[in-house]
Amino acid sequence: MRLAITGTTGRVGRALADRLSRDHEVIELPRTRLDLADPASVEQLEDLDFDLLLNPGGLTNLEQCEDDPDLAWQVNAEAPIRMAEICRRTGRKILHFSTDYVFDGIEPGRRSEEDPPSPISVYGRTKEKGERGVLATGGTVLRVSWVFGPEKAAFPDLVLARALAGEEVSAVADKFSLPAYTRDLGEWTSALITKGCPSGLFHACNGGPVTSWHGIAVEILAYLKETRGMNLPAPKPLLLAEMSAFRAPRPRHTAMATERLESLLGEPLRDWRLALREHLDSRILSR
Ligand SMILES: NC(=O)C1=CN([C@@H]2O[C@H](COP(=O)(O)OP(=O)(O)OC[C@H]3O[C@@H](n4cnc5c(N)ncnc54)[C@H](OP(=O)(O)O)[C@@H]3O)[C@@H](O)[C@H]2O)C=CC1
Ligand SMILES: Cc1cn([C@H]2C[C@H](O)[C@@H](COP(=O)(O)OP(=O)(O)O[C@H]3O[C@@H](C)C(=O)[C@@H](O)[C@H]3O)O2)c(=O)[nH]c1=O
């Protein structure tokens, strides 16, 4: 199959291009080849030869989205809608990536694909608009959350670096979700494509217990104790309200239920703690 992938300089796009190029022909579409903020650039897709377009590209910095809502709207909402319409018109498929931040996060527990989105930030609202447009054309949407992997540093890498440098580790303890490991996401996406990339919405994050950023930090320190004998002080719990750098509102409870994807793939999505340990092993070995 010929796959076109946006956002290949990003965490998810890079992971998808690396994994999917093992079985498919991949056309990488970084910003320099396709500018999601420019409708004319997006229209060029009409003449590109591909079977399936994957769109992990997006404006992912929540504060930047609040500061420049027009840009966020263009990149996260208008561009995917335009791409989905091009795909429908020309008989190609689209697989778009969205977020757990489409939920308001008020109720504890896991959100299913049937739960209505109710975003509380510019980022969430623009992503929600984009996914709705893609779904309306018969496209596929994968909602992911708290993504980490070797392609680009994320929150777990920040914790690891601080711990190894002997610095105090602190993390938000009153905000809950489930992480998604890019290597697993690559496998799930590959399997989804093999199954014909069925239309509709799928939640895609690792399994295991719902956690907080603090819970992830605790797991990383436990790993360092077990594997390296490091006895570090317990991470300091923070409140979301204390994060002065977080100017955009962030939803508190957005863990996603993944039964729909699991039943399509025919297997459970592995526990995030196993995925995190695999990631930490590879980070430590590469230091
Ligand atoms: N990271 C996470 O924890 C989560 C991510 N998601 C969603 O998953 C998707 C992938 O996220 P992730 O890979 O982590 O994000 P990154 O921020 O790592 O990557 C975003 C990608 O989008 C590209 N991009 C941004 N603006 C434009 C533009 N105007 N034109 C073309 N390309 C552009 C970036 O290019 P450049 O390098 O040039 O800026 C980059 O390649 C996103 O849609 C995001 O909403 C959902 C939940 C959690
Ligand atoms: C959690 C946390 C983050 N940070 C820093 C790390 C990082 O530079 C910045 C923002 O953190 P995060 O990116 O992890 O948090 P956030 O911007 O909320 O991440 C989100 O990204 C978007 C794309 C999504 O869709 C969400 O699912 C989520 O993964 O804050 C801390 O300093 N301490 C902390 O306890």
**Tens digits of pLDDT across the chain (287 residues):** 999 999 999 999 999 999 999 999 999 999 999 999 999 999 999 999 999 999 999 999 999 999 999 999 999 999 999 999 999 999 999 999 999 999 999 999 999 999 999 999 999 999 999 999 999 999 999 999 999 999 999 999 999 999 999 999 999 999 999 999 999 999 999 999 999 999 999 999 999 999 999 999 999 999 999 999 999 999 999 999 999 999 999 999 999 999 999 999 999 999 999 999 999 999 887 77
pLDDT confidence of residue 286: 75
Q: Which atom of ligand 2 is nearest to the CA of 175?
A: 1
Question: Would you state the pLDDT for residue 284?
Answer: 85
Closest residue by CA, ligand 1 atom 14: 11
Closest-approaching ligand to the CA atom of 58: 1
CA-proximal residue: ligand 2, atom 19 (nearest): 146
* Contact between 149 and 182 (Cβ < 8 Å): yes
Residue 89 has a pLDDT of: 97
Give the E-state strand segments of 51-194 in sequence order.
52-55, 93-99, 140-144, 147-148, 170-172, 176-177, 180-181
Does residue 155 line the site of ligand 2, with CB under 6 A?
yes
Return the best residue to mutate from 6, 60, 71, 142 for the ligand 1 pocket (most ligand atoms within 8 A of CB).
60
The residue extents of the domains of the chain are 2-149+179-206+256-261
Backbone phi, psi, residue 150, to 5°: -75, -10
CA-245 nearest atom, ligand 2: 30
- Top CATH class of 2-149+179-206+256-261 equals alpha beta
d(CA 222, CA 200): 38
CB of 59 shorter than 6 A to ligand 2: no
Distance from Cα 231 to the centre of ligand 1, integer Å: 36
Q: Which of 61, 155, 239 has most ligand 2 atoms within 8 Å of its beta carbon, as the pocket-test mutant?
A: 155
Backbone angles phi, psi at 229, to 5 degrees: 65, 25
- Residue 147, ligand 1, Cβ within 6 A: yes
* Terminal Cα-to-Cα distance of the chain (whole angstroms): 36
Please give the model's pTM, rounded to 2 decimal places.
Answer: 0.97
Residue 115: name the closest of 140, 143, 96, 75 by CA. Answer: 143
Report CA(60)–ligand 2 centroid distance (Å): 10
What is the distance in A from the centroid of ligand 2 to the CA of 154?
Answer: 8
